[in-house]
Chains A and B, each alone.
Chain A
């Protein structure tokens, strides 16, 4: 590097590192290398965390790097600091389970799609295609599919939230129907498992697999989003599966 300003900065950094663990020197080093923190944080921004949070995490990485850096190794501090800061950011995402959390952009998209799907269903009188959903939402098919994946992998809305407070009457009157499941061929065997399911889940199974209602219709009937129906169904089947496997194994 021939950049004179950089050279001056590097010289100053070397001086400061020699002064450690002096607090003043440390602070000046943090200020000096803060642009690195900002730069690296921005690189992780696409994962949906607020930039401020990332900067905070990256700053911790910078502090660690400053404290661990050894002048006599002959490497530039920035060379040493970059992997340390990135490591800290990555650890943050891993520890906070970012994979399980919905990046904000996708969450907003999923919420948008939820209403678009419901509206399209109302208007068309049938379940819309992905292309139709995309046109209406102003998104590409690719984006719609991505959002669909997202809502399967993450919880946009709580699955355990009560479905609809006003609709309890229909729930109870239909309570008898879901008991029919147990008497049907193919389901009779899993009756003991079915009995352990919450009523809502039993009802979902009944609607979808006995009454043969499509998800969109179930969503309308229960007054919840189709995404919610879809996730609940997937989860219920999983519960059923593991219970059955457990019972057999």
Chain B
């Protein structure tokens, strides 16, 4: 399975780089314009959420695993545990949004780093084949 792994400084103004890469991977998989736009928003949301989770995060990492007609994305961030974790309001929002934008989204912690994994398949493209 080919994985694309990309790290950027953990700052909101670098998220667009991740967004573009995901969009371009999805385009190669024949995702529809609609689905690509959803993926972009999902990357935005996941990254913004993760950046709010940690105190002084330095690296935001995105692992993209494309497979036949679907893409799996894991966003994760380093940094110390924030004193006041973003939950409640924000947590409710993020899952609701990601739920609508992707097929499946969940929280995932790997070696102490919080992450969000989501999967989306190219629904409309496969339907058109």
Known contacts A186-B96, A187-B96, A127 near B35 by CB under 8 Å:
yes
Contact A141 B48 (CB under 8 A): no
Assembly CA distance A61 to B96 (angstroms): 54
Q: Which of A27-35, A50-58, A236-244 contacts B (4 or more CB under 8 A)?
A: A236-244
A25 within 8 A of B: no
> What is the distance, in angstroms, from B36's C-beta to the closest C-beta of chain A?
7
Q: Which of A38-46, A77-85, A144-152, A162-170 contacts B (4 or more CB under 8 A)?
A: A144-152
Contact with B127, one of A126, A148, A187 (Cβ below 8 angstroms): A126
| Binary B-proximity of A213-229 (CB < 8 A = 1, otherwise 0) | 01110000000001000
Contact B95 A186 (CB under 8 A): yes
Interface residues of B in 36-53 (CB under 8 A from A): 36-38, 40-41, 44-45, 48, 52
Count contacts on B: residues with CB < 8 A to the other chain: 38
A129: chain B residues within 8 A (beta carbon): 27, 30-33, 122, 125
Contact with A226, one of B16, B27, B33, B97 (Cβ below 8 angstroms): B33
Closest partner residue, chain B, to A219 (CB atom): B34
Contact with B52, one of A127, A186, A245 (Cβ below 8 angstroms): A245
B67 within 8 A of A: no
A190 within 8 A of B: yes
Closest partner residue, chain B, to A130 (CB atom): B27
Contact B86 A190 (CB under 8 A): no
In this complex, the interface size class of chain A, counting residues with CB under 8 Å from chain B, is 35 or more
A133: chain B residues within 8 A (beta carbon): 33
A contact patch SS? helix
Contact with A212, one of B35, B88, B89, B100 (Cβ below 8 angstroms): B100
| Binary A-proximity of B84-106 (CB < 8 A = 1, otherwise 0) | 10101110110111001000000
A128 within 8 A of B: yes
A247: chain B residues within 8 A (beta carbon): 89
> What is the distance, in angstroms, from A94's C-beta to the closest C-beta of chain B?
16
B34: chain A residues within 8 A (beta carbon): 127, 214-216, 226
A19 within 8 A of B: no
Contact with A234, one of B41, B90, B93 (Cβ below 8 angstroms): B41
A185: chain B residues within 8 A (beta carbon): 92, 96
A70 within 8 A of B: no
List residues of B whose CB falls within 8 A of some A CB. 16, 19-20, 23-24, 27-28, 30-38, 40-41, 44-45, 48, 52, 84, 86, 88-90, 92-93, 95-97, 100, 122, 124-125, 127-128
7 of the cross-chain contacts (CB-CB < 8 Å) are A126-B127, A127-B32, A130-B33, A131-B30, A145-B20, A226-B34, A241-B45
Give 6 new A-B contacts, CB below 8 A, not counting A186-B92, A241-B45.
Answer: A117-B33, A189-B92, A189-B93, A226-B34, A230-B40, A244-B90
